[in-house]
Amino acid sequence: MELHSTTVHKFYSYINDTYALPTRKLINKLTRLSQTEARFTNHRIFNSRCLKNHLIPKYLRLRSTITSSKITSTAEHVSRLCLKEELHRITVKLNNIRNQIEKLKHKLKYVVNDKDYIIVVETSRKARESAFRNSKITQIKKLNKLNEEKNTTNEIDVNASFNRTKWVTNLSSRGN
C-alpha cells in the first residue's frame, strides 16, 4: 500500500475523528519511537565500526594539557573504554526502545481495527526507513571524516623542507 503525504494527513484526520486524541497520541509515539530506533541503530553501527577500525569519535576523545607519551597512551586507552561503554549504553537503549515499540503495537492492535492497524504500522515503518536513510548518510560522513583524520595524522612527510635558520637563534646576532 503506497502512502502519500495527503493520504497520511487524511488518515490522521480520520484517526482523530474515529478513535479520538489518545489513539492519535499512541500512533505519533509509535512513529517517533520508530525514527529514534533507526537513529540509534545507525549510531550503534557507527560506534562498532569506530571500535573495529581503532577510531575514537570526537565526542569521546580525552585530551590532556600534558603531552607525554604515557599520558597520551593512557588517554587513548580510556577513550577506547569510553567507546565500549557508549556502545553498551546504546545497545541497552535500543533494546528498551524496541520493547516500547512492541508494547505500543500490541496496544494499538486492540484499539484500532485491522485495516487501520496495517496503515499505522506501514506509516511508522516508512518513517523509520526515512530516518534510517538520513541517519545512515550522516554516520557514513562522520566515519569517513574520522578515517581521513586518522590517515593524515599517521602520514609523516619525510621530504618536507624545513627552514633550518629558524630552529636555532644566535643570541649574539639577534639584537642588530
59-68, 119-128, 143-152: least confident range: 59-68
CB contact at 8 A, 122 and 26: no
In tens, the pLDDT along 99-125 reads 999 999 999 998 888 888 998 899 999
156: pLDDT strictly greater than 70:
no
For residue 105, what pLDDT is reported?
94
**Residue linked to cell 478513535:** 19
162: pLDDT strictly greater than 60:
no
Count how many Cα atoms sit within 13 Å of the Cα of residue 64 in the half-sphere of its side chain.
13
Virtual torsion, Cα 18, 23, 29, 33, nearest 10 deg: -90
How do the domains of the chain map onto residue ranges?
A: 5-155
If one counts every other C-beta atom within 10 angstroms of the C-beta of residue 76, the result is: 14
174: pLDDT strictly greater than 70:
no
For residue 22, what pLDDT is reported?
84
What average pLDDT does this structure show over 120-132?
94
Share of the chain above pLDDT 90, in %: 52
Sort 54 into a burial class: Cβ within 10 Å, 0-12 / 13-18 / 19+: exposed
∠ Cα 79 80 81 (to 5°): 90
For residue 67, what pLDDT is reported?
81
Q: Grid coordinates standing for 81?
A: 573504554
For 22-43, what is the HEC assignment?
HHHHHHHHHHHHHHHHHHHHHH
Share of the chain above pLDDT 70, in %: 81
